[in-house]
Structure 1
């Protein structure tokens, strides 16, 4: 017997909130990458690298074991009913990898360095 559409327990708030938060993090990482490239400062590079790796790890945890994670946050949600969140986590994981800071030579980039003549 199938469940009538009016009593189907699918919640649109869960995937919408997931995608909203993931897109906000994606935009934040994009602007952080632009700032890291513009300032070319090694401590900012390290911080950006660490934040991006943590975001990638969270998305991979959602991809690999999302049901165990979301049972604590949304206890009434059955995670396997939301394949779009699983596919979204794969997409955002790849997008976050693309926003890793570029590796450049930071040697001799301090403010105290005198310009070459």
Structure 2
């Protein structure tokens, strides 16, 4: 009887871990790529004009992140993060960095979108 309980608990733990990995890995990446592409299109970013610096999923927070530099604004790094639970438009947050400091306003060619 104890062996059966241990086997069932082990299967539940392994199954839960596998589901968590798939949900926060490949599924979150697919959703994030689509949402960030839609956001960039709404910003009028030429998607052929961007250089991807890094991408990834933060498994603890479930946030998907992509960082880009555009040829039109090569001084700034655009960091997009996707979270389905966000209250921002498109569930995407944008952070624009230059030399380690956040840029806003006229220093940015592609500003953050505001909720309409």
> What TM-score do you get using the length of structure 2 for normalisation?
0.35
Structure number with higher relative contact order (C-alpha < 8 Å, ≥ 6 residues apart): 1
> What TM-score do you get using the length of structure 1 for normalisation?
0.34
Between structure 1 and structure 2, the one with the greater Rg is 1
Instruction: Indicate the structure with greater strand content.
Output: 2
Instruction: Indicate the structure with greater helix content.
Output: 1
